Amino acid sequence: MSAKHSKKAKGPPAAAAPLPEAATSVAQATAGAAAEPEASTAWIDSSDPRKRMFGKAILAAVWLYVAALWLLALDQTFQWGIFGPKVPPVP
């Protein structure tokens, strides 16, 4: 790849057309909304009991999954035979 310019002739850059006032107010509103952090709460801290219970259930499931992964890793390392039959060492 080379850093040469394209041989096609390009005209001067077009001047930006001024935006209508309605578009500028919408753009300012979205920029202002993006600048301020949204006041949302986590599921586990929600005031809705269904969301709170759903968040707790997901958290418990993640904890159980991580615990099972740790137990599997320890089982594989120390050959306890929890997740399957003990395999004798190959001579």
Task: Say if 76 falls within a structural domain.
Answer: yes
Segments forming the whole domain that contains residue 55: 42-81
Task: Say if 57 falls within a structural domain.
Answer: yes
| Structure confidence by residue, pLDDT tens digits, 18-75 | 555 655 555 565 555 555 556 788 888 889 999 999 999 999 999 999 999 999 999 9
Task: Say if 16 falls within a structural domain.
Answer: no
pLDDT of 41 reads: 86
How many domains, in total, are found in the chain? 1
Q: Which pTM value belongs to this model?
A: 0.50
Transcribe 7-75 into DSSP letters: SS--PPPPPPPPPPHHHHHHHHHHHHHHHSPP----GGG-SSHHHHHHHHHHHHHHHHHHHHHHHHHHH
Task: Say if 62 falls within a structural domain.
Answer: yes
pLDDT of 61 reads: 98
